[in-house]
Amino acid sequence: MRPASGGIPFPRRPFSVLLERRIALRQPNRLTLNGDEALQVKLGRRLDPPLQEMIPLSSTVLALATALLVLGAPPSESPQPTTTDSFRPDPTWKPIGRSLWFDPGAKQLVLRARVALREGPLEHLLCLKGTKEHEAVLATDAVPRMIHAGLILTGAKQGHPVRFLPKFEPPTGSAIEIQIQWQEDNKLRTADARSWVREDQSKRPLTKDWVFAGSEIFEDPDTKKPIYAADDGDLFTVANFANAILDLPFASTANDAERSFVANTEKIPPRGTLVTLFLRPRPAPDAAKR
């Protein structure tokens, strides 16, 4: 970690790490389904214009097809559980990638993950499988750019990631409610994701919602192709990362003793437990109170 201007320390991943996960996003596409007006969807350096402005939520099928076409999702499949798990996706959910579905009825994103960590300091609630499991409560094999697309389908509005220069600006975006379900002792249990994270000093659970910061898109200096920064593994973070899809809307760094987070061990099921996350924008009146 190195401090930014003004003395605010922040974590930074080597650019070489990002280059290892190059994403060849396609150029603007047009698509017509069932006579609907064709849409042009473009991904720029910072998803400019924002993708949610170009995909109408009034047509779920069209939005899903467009997101899949542009972002190049892999075939939908669920992770093979190694523990007892009775999860079955609802037939009405629309698969949008590995371990990922869109529930059009509830306007929510459904994501499968596994418990990776139950104690110790945290930088993430959720990371990409095989990346940050030593500092994340959960890990998933869902494709990061499809998580982004799925959040757009819920109606969430992308803001911007944390900014450190020329002055600190916290992440912005729609407040996202996250509920977690899992099987334990033959019972279906549910928890607010914030209850799995607590402040190290105060011992209080997290009270603020994550916001849809939306990560960033970089240009590979060698190939000139765009790279989606969240492919580095920073998905839903509790320490500010410009790469994060979801981040906390205040200054939070891994080496800030007054604002560091740890796993709330007693609330988290055993390591390896498969869980289901349900994500949707928190209604504005509720979000405003938090």
The reported pTM is: 0.72
Query: What pLDDT does 85 receive?
Result: 80
* 2 lies in some domain: no
Q: Is the pLDDT of residue 40 over 50?
A: no
More confident site: 78 or 281? 281
* 9 lies in some domain: no
- Cβ neighbours, 10 Å, residue 115: 23
* 5 lies in some domain: no
Q: Is the pLDDT of residue 228 over 50?
A: yes
DSSP, res 205: B
260-275 mean pLDDT: 97
Q: Which positions ≥6 away from 131 have C-beta within 8 Å? A: 139, 232, 233
Q: What is the largest CA-CA distance in the chain?
A: 58
Task: Decide: 258 and 67 in contact? Cβ < 8 Å.
Answer: no
* 131 lies in some domain: yes
User: CA–CA separation, 271 vs 275, rounded Å?
Assistant: 11
User: CA–CA separation, 20 vs 138, rounded Å?
Assistant: 22
Q: Is the pLDDT of residue 174 over 60?
A: yes
Query: What pLDDT does 183 receive?
Result: 95
User: CA–CA separation, 259 vs 251, rounded Å?
Assistant: 8
Query: What pLDDT does 289 receive?
Result: 52
Structure tokens at 17: 């790490």
* 58 lies in some domain: yes
What do you get for the CA distance between the two ends of the chain, in Å? Answer: 30
122 alpha carbon, distance to own chain's centre: 16
pLDDT digits 0-9 by tens, 181-192: 999 998 999 999
* 263 lies in some domain: yes
Total domain count for the chain? 1
* 6 lies in some domain: no
Q: Is the pLDDT of residue 59 over 50?
A: no
Q: Is the pLDDT of residue 28 over 60?
A: no
DSSP symbols for 189-212: EEEEGGGGEEETTT-PBP-SPEEE
DSSP symbols for 266-283: GGSPPTT-EEEEEEEEPP
Task: Decide: 122 and 263 in contact? Cβ < 8 Å.
Answer: yes
98-103 mean pLDDT: 98
Domain span holding position 259: 14-289
Instruction: Return the CA Rg of the chain.
Output: 18
Residue 49: cis peptide before it, omega within 30 degrees of 0: yes
DSSP, res 67: H
More confident site: 200 or 19? 200
* 284 lies in some domain: yes
Q: Is the pLDDT of residue 50 over 90?
A: no
